[in-house]
């Protein structure tokens, strides 16, 4: 991966459509499509080769640039899995670009802005991103519907009192069967835990990737600390993802604010 990234830097410098601005951005590229290695291609040239599921690459050096005719191809072929087109890398802020499956199982790319604002003492931030080929679901918190009809491509976040909450997942509009959970979800003081649901329910390879941004307490200093792939095909493999969304609807459980937006 280091060799591929070095190649990417060299080629990007020749092919990007505009000069870089001041480096005031953190841009992470995540690969969230299981069992599929890919090449990242810019203007017909391979700049990242044989990228594997769960790999996360730092693209911050390209902040403010435009990647021309960007595609994600199946490794070693000219087969385009995702045609992104000309992609403008943000010049400032903290973002994650993730290749994943849409609700119907087709490959796609989503761009998410990461909230690095200060977290109050005694609290942590939990961000959940539904990027798996799975239907809409309802989230139960302590047996009650906390968040209904959660779709692919949506994210939710909340600042919560450090601790744990128990959650379950059921099909949207139904009270049973419980398809994921129950599970206790941790909230860590001063950190933002970003959890991605990835894979396919039909293929039986649902799992999660995680990305952490630490140091968001009294003296914020955002640090991306990698990912933790979980590839167990059992139903509980994605419980962190969907169960975490349940926290967004909890009343009286230390929630400071909630949000649900399309990625």
pLDDT 10s digits, 204-218? 887 778 888 999 986
Q: Measured between alpha carbons, how far is 133 from 235 in angstroms, rounded to an integer?
A: 14
Which pLDDT value is given to residue 119? 96
95 SS3 class: strand
* Rounded-to-integer distance, Cα 172 and Cα 195, Å: 21
Collapse the DSSP code of 71 into the 3-class scheme (helix H, G, I; strand E, B; otherwise coil) and give the result: strand
Per-residue pLDDT, 241:
33
**Whole-model pTM?**
0.73
CA-based nearest residue to 201, from 141, 252, 255, 135: 135
Domains of the chain, by residue range, sit at: 2-113, 123-262
Q: Which residues of the chain are modeled with pLDDT < 50?
A: 1-22, 220, 228-263
- Each residue's pLDDT tens digit, 39-78: 999 999 999 999 999 999 998 988 999 999 999 999 999 9
């Amino acid at each position: 991966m280091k060799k591929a990234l070095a190649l990417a830097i060299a080629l990007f410098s020749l092919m990007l459509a505009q000069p870089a601005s001041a480096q005031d951005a953190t841009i992470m590229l995540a690969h969230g499509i299981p069992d599929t290695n890919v090449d990242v291609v810019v203007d017909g040239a391979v700049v990242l080769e044989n990228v594997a599921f769960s790999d996360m690459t730092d693209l911050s050096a390209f902040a403010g640039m435009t990647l021309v005719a960007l595609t994600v191809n199946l490794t070693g072929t000219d087969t385009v899995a995702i045609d992104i087109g000309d992609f403008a890398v943000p010049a400032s802020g903290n973002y994650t670009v993730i290749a994943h499956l849409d609700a119907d199982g087709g490959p796609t790319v989503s761009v998410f802005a990461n909230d690095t604002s200060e977290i109050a003492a005694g609290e942590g931030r939990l961000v959940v991103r539904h990027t798996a080929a799975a239907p809409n679901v309802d989230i139960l918190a302590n047996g009650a519907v906390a968040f209904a009809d959660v779709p692919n491509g949506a994210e939710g976040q909340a600042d919560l009192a450090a601790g744990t909450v128990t959650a379950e997942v059921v099909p949207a509009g139904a009270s049973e069967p419980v398809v994921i959970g129950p599970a206790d979800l941790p909230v860590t003081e001063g950190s933002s835990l970003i959890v991605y649901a990835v894979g396919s329910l039909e293929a039986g390879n649902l799992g999660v990737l995680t990305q952490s941004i630490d140091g968001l307490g009294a003296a914020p200093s955002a640090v991306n600390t990698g990912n933790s792939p979980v590839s167990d095909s059992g139903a509980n493999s994605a419980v962190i993802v969907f169960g975490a969304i349940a926290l967004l609807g909890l009343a009286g459980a230390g929630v400071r604010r909630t949000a649900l937006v399309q990625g």
